[in-house]
Amino acid sequence: MKTHNTLPKKIKADSIEVLQARLSDTLDAWSHTKQAHWNVRGPGFIAIHELFDKVADAIAESADAIAERLATLGGSPSGCSRDVAKNTSLKPYPHGIASEKKHVDALCASLSTLATSWREAIDHCDKSGDAVTTDLFTRLTGDLDKYIWLIESHNA
């Protein structure tokens, strides 16, 4: 899509590719978080159930920010479930688990993979010269690190 964004075309194209890949990861992480939210069981249910919902909302906001940046650069964000499943770098979320501990472990593994992919995006976009996308992923990663800490604290 034509845009009046003044970044050079090469940088825009490079960032669009990175943003789309990270959008797929982010949407997949959102689905993992909702899966945990819906299926967790245990004595601390309400606290962890509500935390998972809060994290899912934050991840959805992150996905929206990534998609909007992608569109700002002239790209066309794809968040359809089939595209996400095909393009995510996250491992599938385990089925058939219910305990708080197992969901905390599984969700932290998924979110840590997401954080790693965002950190790689930071490095890539910084090297290519897209400071705004670098800043976006830096901000999102800081927030995600906090959520991982909040979740993993339930298994301390």
Q: Where are the domains of the chain?
A: 14-155
Reduced to 3 DSSP states, what percent helix, strand and coil does the chain have, rounded to the nearest 5? 75, 0, 20
Structure tokens at 5: 């964004």
- Could you say which DSSP state residue 90 is in? S
**Mapping DSSP to helix (H, G, I), strand (E, B) and coil, where does residue 95 land?**
coil
- For the chain, 156 residues long, give each residue's pLDDT as a single digit of tens: 788 999 999 999 999 999 999 999 999 999 999 999 999 999 999 999 999 999 999 999 999 999 999 999 999 999 999 999 999 999 999 999 999 999 999 999 999 999 999 999 999 999 999 999 999 999 999 999 999 999 999 997
Structural tokens at position 25: 């990861």
Please give the C-alpha separations between residue 18 and each of 24, 73, 76, 90, 118, in angstroms, as whole numbers. 10, 12, 13, 15, 9
Q: What is the reported pLDDT for 54?
A: 98
> What pLDDT is stored for residue 156 in this prediction?
76
Report pLDDT for 1: 75
Distance of alpha carbon 42 from alpha carbon 8, whole angstroms:
53
Which pLDDT score is estimated for 145? 99
According to the model, what pLDDT value does residue 115 have?
A: 99
**Looking at the domain covering 14-155, what would its CATH class be?**
mainly alpha
Contact yes or no for 63/23 (Cβ under 8 A): yes
Tell me 94's DSSP state: P
How close are the terminal C-alpha atoms of the chain, in Å?
Answer: 48
Q: Give how far the C-alpha of residue 114 lies from the chain's centroid of Cα atoms, to the nearest Å.
A: 5
